[in-house]
Amino acid sequence: MPTFLLMSEPGRRTRLAALVAALVLATGPVAAAQAPAVRSTADCGPRDGVRRALHVLTGRDGIAGGAVLVADPGGAAPCRRWAETAGTADLRTGRPTNAADRLRVGSVTKVFTATLVLQLVAERRLSLGDPVDRYLPGLLHGPGHDGRRITVRQLLQHTSGLPDYLDAPEWEHPERLRYRHFEPRELVTRALELPRPHGTWHYATTNYVVLGMIVRAVTGNSPELEITRRIITPLGLRDTYWPGDDTRVQGPHSHSYFAADDGRRVDGTAWNMTFGGVGGALVATPADLTRFATALFDGRLLPAAQLAQMRRTVAADPDRLWPGARYGLGLISSPLSCGGTWWGHSGTVPGGHRALIAVDPGGRSVAVALNQVPASLQAELDFLDLVDKSLCAHSTSERTSA
């Protein structure tokens, strides 16, 4: 199926049209921080549409639970952060969904990795035009692949022509691999055994695994350590960490669910995420994601020149993203019904978590968290509608007050 998830979700590749795409390894678990629940306030604009869209997902579409957190740094004090939730975080206990819960954010991780790479570009430690072979001689070779011709920019942009290792037949049943450890080189080797994809743009987590290997070659440190010390720690993202081989989600978190072959809903929270690496393994909260996105777009993480490079897009395959979406350097752009575009990324993991972070032209950000992957085209479109309504609710409010 088209990858409405930026960590190409394995095992769900039955060709639906028009979906979304978005998946950091271990420096050791971060101490669990009990974040307060974000309260919904009544005077923050017309949010009925957001509430209804969320309940469509948990009602008609059968998603176990979902949460939306909106952060508006320029808004009035009571409305700078508000949330809506629906459904259940833990089906065994019946605990309701909480917008402060941790979850696996899948390919939203790619935005962190792209930011790190562009920091190194700004420091002149590498260049977007550098070939992979400059740092990893001989890694990418074989029929149709030449590391002397594939550049850092192409990896960031998914225009390298590399296959996605998650397209390998064994990933048709990802639950069989859920406790297995994977090394980055092993994942790249498996990708190179697959047929070269068609077209100039092909979403592949392989690209970001290679970028992580380049970061290690350039800095002498793991990319997970570099992201932690350059981004996670300075921004105070206390609920964001690399799980490594720990299959649990530490601290307060939502459970996640996937459908078994017989239709039963199975708890998929426990999972070894080394298969995602710096393309999709991070754990975070909606609040941490909005804090990161705000810092990225207000210039705290990158100089203006590198942020502009991130926003230079190419046309994406609508069967792996969705109509109207374009891809930059680790960022998706997508049109809003109220005008302009949002920038961000989405992510899905096979155990069932779905995350998305998006920032609108005014600097407002929305983080969406689901604990079950939408199972139909209509459910995916309902997910996109929730994102749109969460950002456009403000525009409706402003037009009304004007």
Q: Hey, which residues are catalytic here?
A: 107
Task: Round to whole Å and give the CA distance between 391 and 338.
Answer: 9
CB neighbours of residue 318 within 10 Å: 14
- Is residue 190 within 8 Å of residue 171, measured between CB atoms? no
* DSSP letter, residue 260: -
| Tokens standing for residue 275 | 């298969």
For residue 72, give the H/E element and its range. none
Provide the Cα torsion 163, 168, 174, 177; round to 10°.
Answer: -100
Locus of tokens 């980055």? 184
Which ranges of 76-228 would DSSP assign to H, the alpha helix?
109-122, 152-157, 184-192, 205-219, 223-227
Number of H helices, E strands in the chain: 9, 15
Q: Which residues of 75-88 are buried (b: 16+ CB within 10 A; e: fewer)?
A: beeeeebbbbbbbb
| Phi, psi angles (nearest 5°) of residue 165 | -60, -20
